[in-house]
Structures are given as structure tokens and as C-alpha cells.
Chains A and B, each alone.
Chain A
């Protein structure tokens, strides 16, 4: 069981010429589920991109550490290797590269992930847990997949790679009720199975009905403006974000 923490401290970041995150701080411990809620433009997706090191974003100040390792100084693949995972809001199509190929290549660099059953067996197991059609395992990544299938695919990869911390960027968008339940259940099980720490970025409360958060943060203007328990999600859902912006 993992123990550790993902610490975001006074993070300032954005795109060239525009600071979007303006001093964001929060700490996720292993096994915890934190929800980050906020209106459009509050910096939710920027947070996800900056944590994983997407090209085009720049860090202006602050720090992010994963078990004490300075994540922001690492290239993307080494962040993954350190145990960070991002389930993308818009998973990218990679023609001609299959899930099996990409995860086989990934497991060769992620320590510990390369032990145990082979990738294909792990993929099959996770596919059945998440309700992902096995036909897609050998097809090009995300090509010809519906929005919902792409999100199941992201969750499936999370299950195979078993990261220490996962950032879920609007994983609930494009999902129907059944898919949402499958995805939410799988992530929640991971928190007890191997102590996955979760930072779930979402616009709506409905994800949090299936993936119960320990902590809810409200993000506005690029910083955390309120933190509370799951009741905070209900308040936001009832009253909207107006009080925070």
C-alpha cells in the first residue's frame, strides 16, 4: 500500500503572457480523493496540464512535489515514472499505435509496473472491470472511439499502470450514467487497492456521487478559495460558483 503525498505549493503558471494559476496550494495524501471544482476559466484544466508538463504551458513560481520529488523539473515521461498519471479531458488520437504497444513501452520505464502479469493479461482484466470492449485493445489509441469510450480507456490505463497519484481532468464529461458509475467505482477501488491518491477535476457534482471525495476544493481566479468536506460540493451544486468569483 502506497503512502505519500502530492504537494502543490503556491503554484503560479499559465500560457505565455497570461498567468492563470495565481498561487494555488493543496496537498493530496495516498488513498485520499480530492475534488477540485470551479467555474469555466478558473484554471482547472491548466492545473492538469501544468502538473503533467504539457508543451505550451509555463511555470512562473511555486512548487509541486510527489513524495518529496520536484515534479516540475522533470520531463513528462519521468513525471509518469515518478508515479503521476493524468486522465485527459480530451485523450489524443495516436494513429497506428495500440493500447498494448503503448502500455508495453510505458511499463518498461515505470518501476514496479513491469512486474506481475503481462500487459495483455492486465489489459483484459481491467477492460472487463471497466466495461471496455476488448476489441479496442489492439486498435489505434483513441481513434474512432466515442467520448465515453475514451474516458473508459483512460481509466483502464490508470488500472494497468497503477500510478501513485492520478489527476482526472473532467473524466465525467461525455460519460453516460452507466459509464460514470464504472469509472467512478474503478478509481475508488484503486484508492483502497494500492492507495491511489486522486485529484478529480470536475465541473459538476455528479462524478462525486460515485467517487466520494474526502476533500473538496473550490477553485476560482487561479487559486483555491474554499476547502471543505463533501458537503461543500453539495453547497456549490445548489448555489453555484457566484459566491466565489
Chain B
């Protein structure tokens, strides 16, 4: 019964009719014929394949066995007659305005495009629905060509895949900001989809925020509200992001997850990095009940570089789950991963990462580091680094730490008269400072630092 009570979903009495994820519903979503055919095929493939279980290696330590998909339906297909409530648009604008100048803004509400504004021309960045893009059919799925399980479900049910198409050789200093707002009724499943193509020789940056309409970073700018877990409504959010970094291009990408305390997130970020190209990716994970992020980065062109960073902070009984793949497929490629996080209260984090160096990817250089602070006795962190090296002439290193706040550091501060709880706060903030300073989009630094500090100073639940 204990497991049953934690199961996300609905009391069957709350919603009389629960549509499930059928090919019919997928095919009925609006769009050009290539897109509806694509959705139907994905829905059929999904229906024909078993759901993953915790017995599968990449789902070990996860909570996937607790997921009962029948309790959810695609957002918009549940009709209860409730007033959707006031629009969060003012708060969204105050959030994004705080991030400094931008090249464009995309807002989706439950996966459906609500705002689209570009401050640079189409000859620099073409921004819009995949459905309206001349190359939409080719761009969607270009990075994630062979999706399985939840990315496949996103293929089937994403109502409005968004394309950010950065033209070859164009340069923009200011980021395109994408905000996926999740709101509405319990039991809704939301499928945000973003495709970024950084054309050859281009320089661009993208900030993608997946946020509960009532959660901390939208609820207000006051620091004490940043740690608010948002609403506890049970929802399923399956964001998929594809980043195609063309030859010689430089893409900076920041993602911030601030979902509600009752939300399950199953996110997938996949990238391909071309020759002499650079991806600097940075993920911040704050909210959710069970929030999983899979990060796959494939270095497909010679001398490409992938820098992968993540900062996370678990509280309450939430679980933050990270799976990474640094996939070296070409010679002289470099990947550098650093994931740092803390778990407090009875929260749980998982980091499981693989460095794969394929035959022929000579002189590749891969680093994988995961540091975890465990702040309370009931909290727990798993760290599982892995290597799969098929080539000899390579440099690979991995390392991880899991442990409480360093006793000597605490003693040093206490010996100066700092109270124990304040000493711990300072040390935890210091732990995150090194990684907060590495955010590749400068305008987001303040938000990231404040959000992490607010989580660190949050009240114990």
C-alpha cells in the first residue's frame, strides 16, 4: 500500500474519463501531414514496445516502476470544465526580462505555442513551429533519430515542436529564451519539444526553462520564494530537446527545471557536435517529485568539444535522476562533464554516466566528474561512472564523490565563531559557487546562483 500511495496519478473519482496515449489521439493533433504521420507512427511504435522497468540498466535506481501511465493523458485532452485561471504571462515576462537582452522569446503553455517573438531577422535566427518550417520534417528528429520509450512518446504527442534555426555563419550574443510553462489539471501529460540547429560557423545561445506556473522562479522574484516547490498537482512532463551543433559552430545552452512538487519529469537532451564545433551545456535541476534528465552528447565531427555541466539540489522526498552519455565517434574530440549537486531532507539523487569512445575516435579526451553533498541522514546519493573505451590512443578520466559537508571545513568556520547551521550554509553555497560561475549564458548567472542559494537555505520539510 505504501508504494500505491506514492504513485503519481489520480484518484479515479477525480476524472471520469481518462484518455490514454493512443495512436488515434496522436494522429488527431493538428499539423501538416508529414507531422501527423510522424506522430501516428511514433504512437504505434510506443504502443508496441514495453515500458522500461528498473531491471533495465539505464533505469536502475530510478522510480520508473512506480509510473502508471494509464493515470495520465495528453494535456488538453482532459476536460473538466475548470477555469484555467489567470494567465501567468506577466510573471513569465518578469522572469525573462530579468535574464537581460535576448534574441527571441518562445513561450509554450502545456506544450502549445503561446508566444513567439524574435528581435533578430530570419536571416540570423529563424524561430517558429516545426510545422511551419520548410525543413521542419528534416530538423525534427535529426539528432534523436532512433527514439525509444519516452522520447518516442514525445514524438507522438508533442503538440507544437519548436525550431530554433540559427543560420550558417551568423553571430548573436543574446540568447533565445524558451519557456515551457506547465499548468492545469492533475493527470495531464505535457510534451515540450525544442529543436536547435546551430548552422555551420554560427555562434548562438539558448536558454530553456521548464517551469510550473506556480513554482519558485515564476512565483516571484523575491529570494525567499525561489525555493518554493510550486504546486503539488500530479502531472507528467516529458521534455525533449535536440541540439544539432554544425561544423565550426559554438552553441551555449542553459536549461532550468523548476517543476512542481507533484510532477514527474522524464527529460531527454540530445546533442550532436560537428567538426571543430563547441557545445557548452548547463542544466539546473530544482523541482519535481521524480525528475529525470538524460543527457546524450555525440561528438560526430573531428575536433569537436562538448562541455556538459549540471547543478542540482534535492529537498523533501524528491528524486533527481541524471543519466549521461559522452559518445566520442570522431578523432580528437573532447568532452568535459561536471555534475554537482546536493541532497537534503530525505531526497535522493542518482548520477549514472558513460564515456564511450568508439573505434577510430583516436586522441579523444574525456573527463567525467560528479560531486554530491549529502546534507541529512535521510538523504541519499548514488554515483555510477562508467567507461566503454574501444580505442587505445585516448585520454579518459572519471571521478566521483559522495559525502557530507567536510568536517574540517565546518570546524574551521566554527573555530571563528560561526554557528554550525550557518557554517553548513556557507560551505554548501561555496560548493555550488564554483559551478554556478560556469553558466555559459551570462544573463542567467544571477538566477541560477539565487535559485541554488534559495534551495540551500530552504526550510527543512
Contact = CB atoms under 8 A, between A and B. Distances in A.
Interface stretch (B109-117, B265-273, B428-436): B428-436
Contacts of A52: 415
Interface stretch (A74-82, A174-182, A199-207): A74-82
A86 B415 CA distance: 7
B431 A96 contact: yes
A54 B417 contact: no
B83 interface: no
Interface in A68-110: 75-77, 79-81, 85-86, 88, 91-97, 101-103, 105-110
Given A55-B407, A97-B426, A140-B430, A75 B416 contact: no
A81 B418 CA distance: 9
Nearest to A55: B407
Nearest to A87: B415
Contacts of A141: 412
A77 B429 CA distance: 20
Contacts of B419: 77, 105, 109
Interface string A134-166: 000000110000000000000001000100000
B426 A76 contact: no
Interface in A39-69: 52, 54-55
B298 to A, nearest CB: 33
A105 B426 contact: yes
A91 B412 contact: yes
B434 A105 contact: no
Interface in B377-433: 407-409, 411-420, 422-423, 426-427, 429-433
B430 A77 contact: no
B416 A161 contact: yes
B434 A157 contact: no
Interface residues of B, number: 23
A21 to B, nearest CB: 19
Interface residues of A, number: 33
Contacts of A86: 415
B430 A92 contact: no
A102 B408 contact: no
Most A CB within 10 A of own CB, among B407, B411, B422, B423: B411
Interface in B339-363: none
Contact of B420 (A75, A106, A161): A75
A55 B418 CA distance: 16
Nearest to B430: A96
Contacts of B414: 75-77, 80
B417 A80 contact: yes
A109 B434 contact: no
A77 B420 contact: yes
Contacts of B427: 94, 96-97
B415 A80 contact: yes
B410 to A, nearest CB: 9
A95 B434 contact: yes
A96 B432 CA distance: 8
Given A55-B407, A92-B409, A97 B416 contact: no
B448 to A, nearest CB: 14
Nearest to A157: B416
Contact of B417 (A88, A92, A94, A161): A161
Contacts of B411: 54-55, 76, 92
Contacts of B430: 94-97, 140
Contacts of B433: 95-96
Given A97-B426, A102-B426, A88 B413 contact: no
A91 B416 CA distance: 12
Interface in A13-55: 52, 54-55
In the A-B complex, the 8 residue pairs with the smallest Cβ-Cβ separation, listed nearest first, are A96-B430, A80-B417, A96-B433, A92-B412, A106-B417, A97-B430, A76-B414, A106-B416
Interface of A: 52, 54-55, 75-77, 79-81, 85-86, 88, 91-97, 101-103, 105-110, 113, 140-141, 157, 161
15 contacts: A80-B414, A80-B416, A85-B416, A88-B415, A94-B426, A94-B427, A95-B430, A95-B433, A96-B432, A102-B418, A103-B416, A106-B417, A109-B419, A141-B412, A161-B416
